[in-house]
Amino acid sequence: MFLGQAGASLGLLWLGSMTPELLAQARAHAQSAQATGAKLYRFFTAHQAADFDALAAQIIPTDDTPGAREANVVHFTDFLLSGIDSDQQAQFTDALKALHDQAVKTVPGAKSFAALTSEQQIAAMKAMENTSAFGTLRGFVVTGCFCDPSLGGGNKDQVGWKLIGFKDDFYYAPPFGYYDAHYNEGKG
């Protein structure tokens, strides 16, 4: 039952209702931090932020188009984990520790995941890609890339939505796509 699987997976991330007031406060905080250029993290240590940033940049790399870095994934995740997703801090910290441990396992003596070469990072990720820790980290990366940009500054400048071609224009008129535009030409 695919819907159920998705629901249960989402369920692990569920927090419960966030009051509009708390959400507004959290958003105001995120905006003021951006406006003042503050780079301080509320949840991450510098080491954690660097490792998570490196991982995010491997999951959705920057090439001829923007990737997870340009989407502001690290600061957005910090916003979530210090606010509306604070009950997932332990789970996230454990997942980052698993990433660090895998980095050391892949390259003995490594100081951090971020300190590995790109090839070494990819090797470490392949070694743990089927773990729940990796799933936790990947979930936050894609959330930060593809969320509604009004939520805490993720998907900055809609770089994630532009990547896949999604727009949220609130109003569309048919035809919507190639096949319904050609519907009257005998297809279907």
Q: By CB under 8 A, is residue 54 in contact with other proteins?
A: no
Q: By CB under 8 A, is residue 5 in contact with other proteins?
A: yes
Can you read off the two tokens belonging to residue 34?
């951006």
Give the contact letters, 93-132, x = binds to other proteins (CB under 8 A), - = no. -----------------------------x--x---x---
Looking at the Cβ atoms of 25 and 179, the one nearer to other proteins is 179
Q: By CB under 8 A, is residue 90 in contact with other proteins?
A: no
Chain Cα centroid distance, residue 115? 21
Total residues at interface with other proteins (CB under 8 A): 64
Q: How far is the CB of 163 from other proteins (least distance, A)?
A: 6
Rounded to whole angstroms, the Cα distance separating 102 from 50 reads: 15
Residue 73, by phi and psi: left (phi above 0), alpha (psi -120 to 50) or beta?
A: alpha
CA distances from 175 to 70, 178, 180, 181, 182 (A): 33, 8, 6, 5, 9
Contacting residues for 44 by C-beta, under 8 A, at least 6 apart: 52, 74, 77, 78, 81
Contact residues toward other proteins (CB under 8 A) are 1-18, 20, 23, 58-61, 63, 65, 67, 84, 87, 122, 125, 129, 138-139, 142-143, 145-148, 150-151, 160-161, 163-166, 168-174, 176-180, 182-183, 187-188
